[in-house]
Amino acid sequence: MPSLQTAFGFFLVSALLALSPGPDNVFVLVQSALRGPRAGLLVVLGLCSGLVVHTVAVALGLAALFAASAAAFTALKWIGAAYLLVLAWGAFRAPVDAAVAPGAAPEADGWRMVRRGLAMNLTNPKVVIFFLAFLPQFADPARGPVAPQLLVLGAIFILSTLLVFGAIAVGSGLFGALLQRSARARRTLNWLAGTVFVGLAARLATAQR
């Protein structure tokens, strides 16, 4: 297992990485502003569920196989870009006649937000490459088998992401709730969200390994 000092240092580095601008935290910020803090937290839950998959893939060596396949990388990034464009189309066409009350998303919509976060994370091949390059740097073969260490490090990364992204979701959701009181502000938010999704799709479509 990683030493306490390694685990603490890894947590701090992970938190800083979660704070740095990137597709996932921008996605959380936009969804929270549009739908409230509860919806944003559900998106965070979906994103972190995707990180569980990536952690297990790295620990089992599956991520290395994926990284070696240019076809798999290309296929996944195009799937992710297409998914983001679907979200953009939905944001551009979203009705503005009624505001979304913060924390009032129905249960069915809540599961949709979890799935949205999960899909956002799993269809980004750069996350797989990042985990494959990042986690092993903090594993020490002298302390025992590497795979269990990678699982522990992945859990620490997920915890830091959950805390940082959760704070972003709550803050953005509360601010967005104030804007949702105005039909003009809701229309602006929808178009801003759609534009952000298009930008994220373009970034993902042009990503290189």
**Is 11 within a domain?**
no
The rounded distance, in Å, linking the Cα atoms of 18 and 7 is: 16
Question: How does DSSP classify residue 182?
Answer: S
- For residue range 86-137, list pLDDT tens digits in order: 888 877 876 655 444 444 454 447 788 999 999 989 988 888 888 888 888 8
The pLDDT value given to residue 52: 94
**pLDDT over threshold 80, residue 66:** no
**Is 15 within a domain?**
no
**Is 150 within a domain?**
yes
The rounded distance, in Å, linking the Cα atoms of 36 and 42 is: 10
pTM of this prediction exceeds 0.85: no
**Is 19 within a domain?**
no
**Is 94 within a domain?**
yes
For the chain, the domain total comes to: 1
**Is 8 within a domain?**
no
Specify whether the CB–CB gap between 97 and 126 falls below 8 A. Answer: no
- For residue range 160-182, list pLDDT tens digits in order: 999 999 999 999 888 877 666 66
The pLDDT of 65-90, averaged and rounded, is 81
The pLDDT of 13-41, averaged and rounded, is 87
Closest CA to 122 of 76, 175, 62: 76
The residue range of the domain holding 166 is 24-205
Per the prediction, the chain carries an average pLDDT of 82
**Is 63 within a domain?**
yes
**Is 170 within a domain?**
yes
**pLDDT over threshold 90, residue 46:** yes
Closest CA to 42 of 53, 55, 26, 28: 28
Contacts of 159 (CB under 8 A, 6+ apart): 11
Query: Token pair of 165, please?
Result: 């992204």
